[in-house]
Amino acid sequence: MIEERFDAIVVGAGMAGNAAALTMAKRGMKVLQLERGEYPGSKNVQGAILYADMMEELVPGFREEAPLERHLIEQRFWMMDDRSHVGMHYRSEDFNEERPNRYTIIRAQFDKWLSSKVREAGAIVLCETTVTELAQDDNKRIIGVRTDRRDGQIHADVVVLAEGVNGLLGTRAGLRARPTPDNVALAVKEMHFLPRETIEARFNLQGDEGVVIEAAGTISRGMTGMGFIYANKECISLGIGCLVADFQRTGQTPYGLLEQFKRHPSVAPLIAGSEVKEYAAHLIPEGGYKSIPQLYGEGWVVVGDAAQLNNAIHREGSNLALTSGRIAAEAIGLLKSRGASMSATNLSIYKKMLDESFVIKDLKKYKDMPPLMHTHSQNFFLTYPQLISKAMQNFVRVDGTPKVEKERASLKSFVKARSWSGLVGDAWRFARAWR
Ligand SMILES: Cc1cc2nc3c(=O)[nH]c(=O)nc-3n(C[C@H](O)[C@H](O)[C@H](O)COP(=O)(O)OP(=O)(O)OC[C@H]3O[C@@H](n4cnc5c(N)ncnc54)[C@H](O)[C@@H]3O)c2cc1C
């Protein structure tokens, strides 16, 4: 048993846990961080885009030393049917700036590096240590953790739960309910290796410029989900994910979807001749604002994916994890500096601070989007992509048909598929959920 008592124990060394441990250690607090993986990042799966501003707040000047892949100058959104895609691209030379805004990263390398900063700041980081249970006193106050090490009970004033989307510890201790299948997506991802020059030629890139493609449409077979293709220096991250409830309902498999996605005529040429070296599957919390559980209690706070802090609409998670971890640590640091206890009443300051941040403001803005996408997935992920693709083809194909007739035919196809009231209803529901 580690006899020492800590100011804080952080469970997990992903983005949220590292942000929390680093922020508290920098403030001179005695921090123990426990990670079940062989090293930080070994268990972590992400596309992965890193948002620089949130990282800069934690490690100023991180660009000088962090393992980064490419800085993003272009974002593509593809709406796909089985043979085509309708695209929206934004590419700007402005993103070739001195301090780029977004990067692709490889989590296994990045988390390892970030963890070295946590250690440098003075925290003790123990890997290959699984927290098996939260230790509670008679009043149900969290007083520490039990681990899979022999005699592994350790005490602290506060426990930061940064255990990721499964959040087993929190649910086992009765702090929150398990995420439901309609609130989590299961994503599968592969890393396709290619020579650097090939990637740059295929994606129209120079030097360390990068591009990401987010894709939706018939690739998810009417389920709520998306695909992604991210260009790294010498590999391409490619994956697809859908709500677990939809996989259960349809009997589709993530592997099946991934294979179809890779064979799509818009995707296959990008990865042709590549060598697949990594395959991973992971859950993503996608329930949004309405699925956020209780964020604090007697002697504990929860951050990152474990708190369901993920913006599925903008495909952001790591920045919400970094920010919630940092804010929780700042709240704890504030209480400590005042000599205040880590009671639920005092820790409620974490929620107040988080409510003021972009994390909760953004999730609140899109609070109705996840249920809308789920209940109308057939329309938004199957019917409309097919209709839009057909209309686009009709628009660009030159075959002697008068344009007025073409427009009439496209409109008719929309009305036939959804009816006037259906079209107006979908537009109204979407606009309302977006506002
Ligand atoms: C396929 C995929 C693509 C994604 N793409 C992006 C993207 O491009 N951009 C973006 O911003 N976000 C993306 N995300 C989301 C992003 O990965 C998460 O939001 C982010 O990793 C959450 O960080 P976290 O620290 O909360 O959890 P995690 O990164 O999951 O870290 C949790 C850590 O806790 C450890 N742990 C769990 N239980 C225990 C225990 N009992 N004891 C000890 N350790 C434990 C785990 O081993 C892990 O290291 C993606 C997610 C997936 C699955």
∠ CA 195-200-203, rounded to 5°: 125
Atom of ligand 1 nearest to the CA of 17: 25
What confidence score (pLDDT) does residue 150 get?
82
Average pLDDT of the segment spanning 121-141: 95
Residue 201 Cα to ligand 1 middle (Å): 31
- β-pair partners for 428: none
Average pLDDT of the segment spanning 91-117: 95
DSSP state at residue 338? T
Give residue 33's pLDDT band: very low, low, confident or very high (50, 70, 90): very high
Q: Which of 9, 33, 38, 44 to mutate to test the pocket of ligand 1 (most atoms within 8 A of CB)?
A: 44
Instruction: Give yes or no for residue 277 having a pLDDT over 90.
Output: no
Architecture of domain 6-68+103-178+290-366: 3-Layer(bba) Sandwich (3.50)
Give the span between the Cα atoms of 319 and 188, in whole angstroms.
21
Q: Does domain 182-285 have CATH number 3.20.20.60?
A: no
Q: Which of 9, 15, 105 to mutate to test the pocket of ligand 1 (most atoms within 8 A of CB)?
A: 15
**What percentage of the chain reaches a pLDDT higher than 90?**
92
Average pLDDT of the segment spanning 106-123: 95
Q: Where are the domains of the chain?
A: 6-68+103-178+290-366, 182-285, 370-434
Q: Which of 163, 232, 279 to mutate to test the pocket of ligand 1 (most atoms within 8 A of CB)?
A: 163
Give the span between the Cα atoms of 221 and 52, in whole angstroms.
34
Give the span between the Cα atoms of 218 and 389, in whole angstroms.
11
Beta-strand ranges (E) seen in 247-326 are 275-285, 296-297, 300-302
Which parts of 178-253 fold into alpha helices (H)? 196-203, 244-250
What confidence score (pLDDT) does residue 48 get?
86
Instruction: Give yes or no for residue 1 having a pLDDT over 90.
Output: no
378-428, pLDDT tens digit by residue?
999 999 999 999 999 999 999 999 999 999 999 999 999 999 999 999 999
Beta-strand ranges (E) seen in 120-165 are 124-126, 131-136, 142-147, 153-161
Beta-strand ranges (E) seen in 298-363 are 300-302
CB 19 within 8 A of CB 171: no
Residue 321 Cα to ligand 1 middle (Å): 8
Q: Whose CA is nearest to atom 29 of ligand 1?
A: 14
Q: What is the mean pLDDT of the chain?
A: 95
180-193, pLDDT tens digit by residue?
999 999 999 999 99
What confidence score (pLDDT) does residue 167 get?
86
- Regarding beta strands 184-193 and 275-285, do their DSSP bridges make them parallel or antiparallel, or are they unpaired? antiparallel
287-329, pLDDT tens digit by residue?
999 999 999 999 999 999 999 999 999 999 999 999 999 999 9
Residue 148 Cα to ligand 1 middle (Å): 21
Average the pLDDT over each of 37-51, 133-147, 199-213, 392-406 and give the range with the smallest value: 37-51
Instruction: Give yes or no for residue 169 having a pLDDT over 60.
Output: yes
